[in-house]
Amino acid sequence: MFQEGMMPTAAGPKDPVMEAAVYAAQIKGHEKIRVYHNDGHVLFEGTPREVANFWGIGGLARVEEVGSIADAEGQTIVKINNTNESGSIARNKVEMIMGALAMDIEDADIAQDRAAGCTLSPEEQEAELRRCYSIKKQVEAKHGEKLQEHLLMMSLGINPENEEPLFRTVSGEVGHNFEAHGIEKNDQLEKLLALLENGINKEKPFSTAPFELPPTERGVAMAEHKVGSGVCYQSGMAVVTGGYREGLVERGIKYVFINDVYAELLAPLRKLFPQYKIHLLSFQKEVLDTEFVEHN
């Protein structure tokens, strides 16, 4: 979308989403990136993909330590400060830049997986299905009796391995615009595969609720949607949603969010179902915020 070297225009207030996308494009344009600590030492060094992964597995918790992001030679791409002083960006925008970088990489991965999925033979489809079931067994073996607890923690943006913040969930102001349905109870993989293969059966009951709600609206929605918190169930294997202000049953599934505990399912599901936009649950904020901004 943006070419390396493009910068936000100085005239008028900067659009924060566009500004983040510009910086993300600049970062992605380099083979190696350095993330510097406030005191000047290198906090992390790697490819743009590795930087995005670093951020996704704990970098968020260290946002107060980040002083700048530079190329492999140490030339500053973006300087970070606590205020919007000249030549720097406010610290609270770092997450948006890293989110935009992760989304750029995610979009490239999706395009690649979709292209592969469009050419799958029946035998290859069977192989990807077997891979899904194998991943499910591996996850169950790894997490054991704590699987449900770990799914719940991940749905709240908490890393179950160290109980530290892992990602930020979408706000209620954005999330209430997306009608959703969570995969729950028994046989979740079977339910998810059937739903993605056949779509929503409009002749049968199908529960939906907002992806998220503002805190002030949760109490009212609890009775209306008959869901414990007034929002869709997110502590299972996956959540499916419609587009912005689109009825999920009427318009169909647009997004599929896979709980990060089952992250390995992402690749085979994308190949099997290229018609959907399939992401990890940890990308909910970037994905839904982006569509929200596009419509407002």
Asked if 248 and 166 sit in the same domain, the reply is yes
The tally of domains found in the chain comes to: 2
163 and 32 in a single domain? The answer is no
Residue 7 belongs to a domain: no
> Same domain, yes or no, for 127 and 273?
yes
153 and 25 in a single domain? The answer is no
Q: Sheet containing 179-182: which strands, arranged edge to edge?
A: 209-210, 179-182, 238-241, 255-258, 277-280
Is pLDDT above 70 for 94? Answer: yes
Nearest by Cα to 18 from 91, 102, 100: 100
Q: Assess if residue 196 is contained within a domain.
A: yes
Whether residue 212 has pLDDT greater than 50: yes
**Cα atoms in the 13 Å half-sphere on the side-chain side of 12:** 5
Query: Is 214 part of a structural domain of the chain?
Result: yes
196 to 41, 223, 280, 293: CA distances (angstroms): 47, 29, 16, 27
pLDDT above 70 as % of the chain: 82
Q: Which residues contact 6 (CB under 8 A, 6 or more apart)?
A: 22, 25, 26
Within 13 Å of residue 71, how many CA atoms lie on the same side as its CB?
A: 12
Domain encompassing residue 138? 120-294
Backbone φ and ψ of 191, nearest 5°: -65, -45
Same domain, 83 and 175: no
Mean pLDDT for 95-109 is 76
In a domain, 52, yes or no: yes
Please, which residues have CB within 8 angstroms of residue 278's CB and are 6 or more apart in sequence?
Answer: 110, 255, 256, 257, 258, 266, 269, 270
83 lies in the same domain as 163 = no
Residue 237: strand, helix, or coil = coil
Label residue 82 by pLDDT band (50, 70, 90): low
Note whether 148 and 250 are same-domain residues.
yes
H helix runs in the chain, sequence order: 16-28, 48-56, 94-117, 122-143, 147-155, 172-175, 188-198, 215-225, 248-251, 266-272, 284-294
In a domain, residue 6? The reply is no
pLDDT of residue 118: 65
Please give the model's pTM, rounded to 2 decimal places. 0.71
Mean pLDDT of the region 43-57: 80
* 78 and 185, same domain (yes or no): no
The pLDDT assigned to 96 comes to 76
- Any domain includes 124: yes
Residue 204 has pLDDT above 70, yes or no: yes
Least confident interval from 71-75, 232-236, 237-241: 71-75
Q: Are residues 154 and 287 in the same domain?
A: yes
Q: Residue 235 corresponds to which tokens in the numbers above?
A: 């502590």
